[in-house]
Amino acid sequence: VNAQGEEATSNSSSEIAPQPYGVTTTPPAEARQHGVGANVFIVERAAERLSIYDLKAKALLPTKISGLGNMKHATMTFAPDLRWGFVSTRDGQLHRIDLETLSVAGTLKTSNNSIDIAMSQDGQHVAVAQYIPGGLSIVDVDTMQLVKALPVALTSKIDSRVTGVVDAAPNEFVATLMEGKQVWRVAAENGDFKIVETIELGDDIGIPYDAMITSDSRFYLVAHLGKADYSVVDLNTHPAKLRRISLDDAEIRITPQTPVKLPHMASWASAHGHVFAPVVGEKRIVVLRSTDLEYEKSIAVRGHAVYIVRRPDEREVWVSFSGEDDDAFVQVIDTESMVVKHEMKVGARIYHMDFTPRGGQALISANADNAFFVVNAATYKIEDREDLESPSGIFGSWRAFRIGL
Amino acid sequence: VNAQGEEATSNSSSEIAPQPYGVTTTPPAEARQHGVGANVFIVERAAERLSIYDLKAKALLPTKISGLGNMKHATMTFAPDLRWGFVSTRDGQLHRIDLETLSVAGTLKTSNNSIDIAMSQDGQHVAVAQYIPGGLSIVDVDTMQLVKALPVALTSKIDSRVTGVVDAAPNEFVATLMEGKQVWRVAAENGDFKIVETIELGDDIGIPYDAMITSDSRFYLVAHLGKADYSVVDLNTHPAKLRRISLDDAEIRITPQTPVKLPHMASWASAHGHVFAPVVGEKRIVVLRSTDLEYEKSIAVRGHAVYIVRRPDEREVWVSFSGEDDDAFVQVIDTESMVVKHEMKVGARIYHMDFTPRGGQALISANADNAFFVVNAATYKIEDREDLESPSGIFGSWRAFRIGL
């Protein structure tokens, strides 16, 4: 990991960092068939493109948004006016997607390897979390200009990859330094993007590999490798309050195994007064109390959880898994009785899972089966299956209106 | 109140009821300046039109959508593809608003007096709740045709106004019969719109004047006149479970007064593990436990609450009031300490209040001051003020992605 970042600009909004790699724009592709809200973007990893599923037509659009680069772990966020979507790539590009014409409307290469992305609460800036060089890049959504580079070298004692970037109230970005074992709070107000607080997670933890923020924007949860605990950063105050919560359960003795894929943390695993969270290398998920994130209990599941997603009515959370034996399956947990109430085989190597916002359908990509599935969230029946090349992330425009996405 | 409804069609999706009043369409008006998500629609009651505030430009658009009829209590909902908005009027019209061209794209008169509106969870149908004749009209969002009329006369023992219509999981509509003292659950799946359940609220209650659904779509809360209690309908099961919860507090003795305006119930008053609800004619709000809606406590406020809205980060709820002495003020309640932490004077006769979805701004209409305010949700400072004629309801496209709106 290399942390040779751009020089940071001073903390003045009038000073704009030079744009290091240049903006390119491609002409508009074919038009959409329905309103912008109907379109769900699905990453086709191997094909280095986005496919678009029209939820109203219940079909893929003929349009593909191609030539995007290395789409491994590519994630997408949306401007709140729903004019633009943004996708960051593993080769360090930030693409702006025109949601009306379904085409690329500007690309900025901010680094050599980026991993995560967040939209500011005021909708004016995108933050890109970078591995190489380690840092955060802040980009203006309208101009696609880099307005601030925050290299890890700026404050951290060691070079570090940056991950888990989210928006937080009031108009902050929060991100995690992996090797640096720090959390940054960055002010997104007034355009200065100052690191207003650096929270040391402690040297006694393993690599913090991912993070999430609760949907009320209060708790930033950081997951570590090597031990069943989380760092919980309470953002309610400045300075933030840090505590460690153990996921150990006296009644459950499991020797952790190395999972094929690390779990994905996402703010939507909060349901019915609880947060449902994965444990690395163990075949259980943990239940925390929403209001203070205290450990409540564990639920045994069939494999190593990757995604834990709540159905919007909060009566169920759906869990996907890593590893060949389990990764085609989804288990459904009842959030009241806390039991696995249903298990279904959807498709091999499930890489992403989300629900339509009022909960009618689950949208699931099965990477090894080259398939995208629409599953009825009430009956568990597969309503549609589409062929895609190596699908992974699934992103709907409703993310524009949710804290932490 | 008159309940001479249209004849109900049979429960077959192939039989379409005749369209009683006819569809009209006006040509497109001026275009918007940003993406469809930027535009917030504000009812100008006296002018019988919608004004549009562009959240990104921080300005009113020149476009007005006029000639809409009696806009008293007009509410608006949005199709999930964000192609259409829908507004119901007090003279019984349902207007479809083209969110891309900002113009009327079809009008259907479904009754002589309608009060409330809901979008089906699958985005295909709008339900309009009607006073005269009492009933529900189900309209297809694409054709603007009436696909089902459900007059109160169909099942109720007495004529009745219908109010409080919401969507509920999985793809139902739920509505309240005021004089009928009933709740209807209507299946929105398969196009038959059958009343699958009729819940009798009991003869011992006052008129049920409004209702809301919790954001997890589980509890349908019905408020009654004349007594400090609610009917709570647990929709988790068929048949639903009905119970009555008292809002009385042994430590608080207040003689209820007649409020100038009845409180408005809305699903977003759920925050930090509690539901915050108004009490008719009393200068307090009640706090219920989110998971089961049991009474927890009361909080004294300066007047008779009308709106209680959570800031999206759930750290605060903002309360507006009825009556000349109080209706220009907003009180801010801390959801952890449960105390009134701030009070501000915004503008006279506040008729609606909502937040931008990530919580940056509160949007407030002050009817008597003919003004629309944008208030910074963190600093409480007024960021913008616009002149409007008799403004009331404020509706953003994020409603498309929320259960109960």
**pLDDT tens digits, residue range A128-140?**
999 999 999 999 9
Q: Which of A37, A121, A312 sits opposite B358 (nearest CB)?
A: A121
Where do the H-state alpha helices sit in A180-252?
none
Q: Report the predicted TM-score, pTM, of the whole model to 2 decimal places.
A: 0.91
What per-residue confidence (pLDDT) applies to B20? 37
pLDDT tens digits, A64-101: 999 999 999 899 999 999 999 999 999 999 999 999 99
Of the candidates A82, A84, A318, which has an alpha carbon nearest to the alpha carbon of residue B401?
A82
Interchain contact B261–A (C-beta under 8 A): no
Distance from CA of A291 to the nearest CA of B (A): 7
What number of other Cβ atoms are within 10 A of residue B209's Cβ?
A: 19
Distance from CA of B292 to the nearest CA of A (A): 10
The mean pLDDT of A111-119, rounded to a whole number, is 94
Going by C-beta distance under 8 Å and a sequence separation of 6 or more, which residues neighbour residue A251?
none
Tell me how far apart the alpha carbons of residues B287 and B302 are, in angstroms, rounded to a whole number.
Answer: 16
Note whether B376 and B361 are within 8 A (CB).
Answer: yes
Tell me how far apart the alpha carbons of residues B285 and B296 are, in angstroms, rounded to a whole number.
Answer: 11
A356 vs B contacts (CB less than 8 Å): 80
What per-residue confidence (pLDDT) applies to B267? 53
Tell me how far apart the alpha carbons of residues A395 and A77 are, in angstroms, rounded to a whole number.
Answer: 8
What number of other Cβ atoms are within 10 A of residue B400's Cβ?
A: 27
pLDDT tens digits, A179-189: 999 999 999 98
Q: Which helix (H) or strand (E) holds B366?
A: strand B361-366
Distance from CA of B236 to the nearest CA of A (A): 9
pLDDT tens digits, B296-340: 999 999 999 999 999 999 999 999 999 999 999 999 999 999 999
Tell me whether residue B313 is exposed, middle or buried, using C-beta atoms within 10 angstroms of its C-beta: 0 to 12, 13 to 18, 19 or more.
Answer: buried
Q: Cis ω on the peptide bond leading into residue A20 (within 30° of 0)?
A: no
Tell me how far apart the alpha carbons of residues B116 and B129 are, in angstroms, rounded to a whole number.
Answer: 5
Which residues make beta-bridge pairs with B365? B352, B372
Residue of B nearest to A213 (CA): B313
Asked whether the beta carbons of residue B56 and residue A123 sit closer than 8 angstroms, the reply is yes
User: Which strands make up the sheet holding B146-151, listed edge to edge?
Assistant: B113-119, B125-132, B135-140, B146-151
What number of other Cβ atoms are within 10 A of residue B240's Cβ?
A: 17
Q: Which of B36, B167, B401 sits opposite A401 (nearest CB)?
A: B401
Copy the structure tokens of residue B311.
């800031």
Instruction: State the pairing for strand pair B391-396/B316-322.
Output: unpaired
Distance from CA of A53 to the nearest CA of B (A): 12
Interface test with chain B among A332, A401, A402, A403, by most B beta carbons within 10 Å: A401
Going by C-beta distance under 8 Å and a sequence separation of 6 or more, which residues neighbour residue B282?
B228, B254, B256, B257, B304
Of the candidates A179, A220, A183, A227, which has an alpha carbon nearest to the alpha carbon of residue A203?
A179
Asked whether the beta carbons of residue B403 and residue A217 sit closer than 8 angstroms, the reply is no
Tell me how far apart the alpha carbons of residues A53 and B263 are, in angstroms, rounded to a whole number.
Answer: 41
Distance from CA of A5 to the nearest CA of B (A): 30
CB within 8 Å of chain A, chain B residues 108-127? 121-123
What per-residue confidence (pLDDT) applies to B254? 64
| CA angle (A94 as vertex; A93, A95 as ends), nearest 5 | 110
Asked whether the beta carbons of residue B83 and residue A55 sit closer than 8 angstroms, the reply is no
B291 vs A contacts (CB less than 8 Å): 272-273
Residue of B nearest to A84 (CA): B35
Main-chain dihedrals φ then ψ at residue B356, nearest 5 degrees: -65, 150
More confident residue, B260 or A322: A322
Interface test with chain B among A313, A361, A380, A399, by most B beta carbons within 10 Å: A313
Of the candidates B49, B73, B47, which has an alpha carbon nearest to the alpha carbon of residue B63?
B49
Of the candidates A286, A273, A279, which has an alpha carbon nearest to the alpha carbon of residue A321?
A279
Q: Where are the beta strands (DSSP E) in B133-240?
A: 135-140, 146-151, 162-168, 172-177, 182-187, 195-200, 208-213, 219-224, 229-234
Note whether B304 and B323 are within 8 A (CB).
Answer: yes
Q: Which residues of chain B have pLDDT under 50?
A: 1-30
What per-residue confidence (pLDDT) applies to B253? 62
Q: Is A397 helix (H, G, I), strand (E, B) or coil?
A: helix
What per-residue confidence (pLDDT) applies to B156? 73
Instruction: State the pairing for strand pair B113-119/B125-132.
Output: antiparallel
Q: Which of B34, B56, B403 sits opposite A312 (nearest CB)?
A: B403
Mean predicted lDDT score pLDDT of chain A: 88
Interface test with chain A among B61, B313, B361, by most A beta carbons within 10 Å: B313
Interchain contact A402–B (C-beta under 8 A): yes
A55 vs B contacts (CB less than 8 Å): 80-81
* Tally of CA atoms within 13 A in the half-sphere of A251 that contains its CB: 7
Q: Where are the beta strands (DSSP E) in A80-218?
A: 84-88, 93-98, 103-109, 113-119, 125-132, 135-140, 146-151, 162-168, 172-177, 182-187, 195-200, 208-213
Task: Write the DSSP string, A21-83.
Answer: S-EE-----PPPSS-GGGEEEEEETTTTEEEEEETTTTEEEEEEE------TT-EEEE-TTSS
Give the pLDDT band (50/70/90) at residue A272. confident
What per-residue confidence (pLDDT) applies to A253? 62
Asked whether the beta carbons of residue A403 and residue B167 sit closer than 8 angstroms, the reply is no
Copy the structure tokens of residue A248.
């150990």
Distance from CA of B94 to the nearest CA of A (A): 20
More confident residue, A405 or B361: B361
Q: Is B399 helix (H, G, I), strand (E, B) or coil?
A: helix
Which residues make beta-bridge pairs with A75? A88
Interchain contact B399–A (C-beta under 8 A): no
CA B60 to chain CA centroid, nearest Å: 23
Interchain contact A341–B (C-beta under 8 A): no
Tell me how far apart the alpha carbons of residues B281 and B274 are, in angstroms, rounded to a whole number.
Answer: 22
Note whether A85 and A395 are within 8 A (CB).
Answer: yes
What per-residue confidence (pLDDT) applies to B148? 96
CB within 8 Å of chain B, chain A residues 124-163? none
B84 vs A contacts (CB less than 8 Å): 35
Distance from CA of A11 to the nearest CA of B (A): 22
Kindly list the distances between the CA atom of residue B127 and the CA atoms of A185, A252, B119, B175, B287, in Å, as whole numbers in the listed order. Answer: 45, 50, 6, 10, 30
Interchain contact B59–A (C-beta under 8 A): no
Interface test with chain A among B55, B122, B216, by most A beta carbons within 10 Å: B216
Interchain contact B323–A (C-beta under 8 A): no
Asked whether the beta carbons of residue B357 and residue A314 sit closer than 8 angstroms, the reply is no
Copy the structure tokens of residue A295.
């450990």
What per-residue confidence (pLDDT) applies to A29? 41
Of the candidates B197, B183, B193, B93, which has an alpha carbon nearest to the alpha carbon of residue B144?
B93
Going by C-beta distance under 8 Å and a sequence separation of 6 or more, which residues neighbour residue B72?
B45, B90, B392
Location of structure tokens 């009845």: B262
A234 vs B contacts (CB less than 8 Å): none
Asked whether residue A291 carries a pLDDT value surpassing 60, the answer given is yes
The mean pLDDT of A259-274, rounded to a whole number, is 74
Tell me how far apart the alpha carbons of residues A114 and A229 are, in angstroms, rounded to a whole number.
Answer: 26
B360 vs A contacts (CB less than 8 Å): 121-122, 170-171
More confident residue, A23 or B50: B50
CB within 8 Å of chain B, chain A residues 276-295? 290-291
What per-residue confidence (pLDDT) applies to A263? 74
| CA angle (B66 as vertex; B61, B70 as ends), nearest 5 | 130
Q: Which helix (H) or strand (E) holds B392?
A: strand B391-396
Distance from CA of B312 to the nearest CA of A (A): 7
Asked whether the beta carbons of residue A401 and residue B81 sit closer than 8 angstroms, the reply is no
What per-residue confidence (pLDDT) applies to B134? 95
What per-residue confidence (pLDDT) applies to A155? 72
* Tally of CA atoms within 13 A in the half-sphere of A257 that contains its CB: 11
Note whether B400 and B79 are within 8 A (CB).
Answer: yes
Q: Which helix (H) or strand (E) holds B275?
A: strand B274-278
Of the candidates A204, A223, A205, A203, which has an alpha carbon nearest to the alpha carbon of residue A213?
A223
More confident residue, A226 or B277: B277
What per-residue confidence (pLDDT) applies to B264? 73
Q: Cα torsion for A301, A303, A304, A306, to the nearest 10°?
A: -80
Asked whether the beta carbons of residue B35 and residue A100 sit closer than 8 angstroms, the reply is yes
Tell me how far apart the alpha carbons of residues A327 and B142 are, in angstroms, rounded to a whole number.
Answer: 39
Note whether B188 and A360 are within 8 A (CB).
Answer: no
Interchain contact B196–A (C-beta under 8 A): no
CB pairs under 8 A between A and B: 163
Tell me how far apart the alpha carbons of residues A75 and A127 are, in angstroms, rounded to a whole number.
Answer: 12
What ipTM describes this predicted complex?
0.89
Asked whether the beta carbons of residue B37 and residue A377 sit closer than 8 angstroms, the reply is no
Q: Which of A35, A122, A357 sits opposite B401 (nearest CB)?
A: A357
- Which string of b and e fits A367-388 if b means at least 16 CB within 10 Å? bebbbbbbbbbbeeebebbbeb
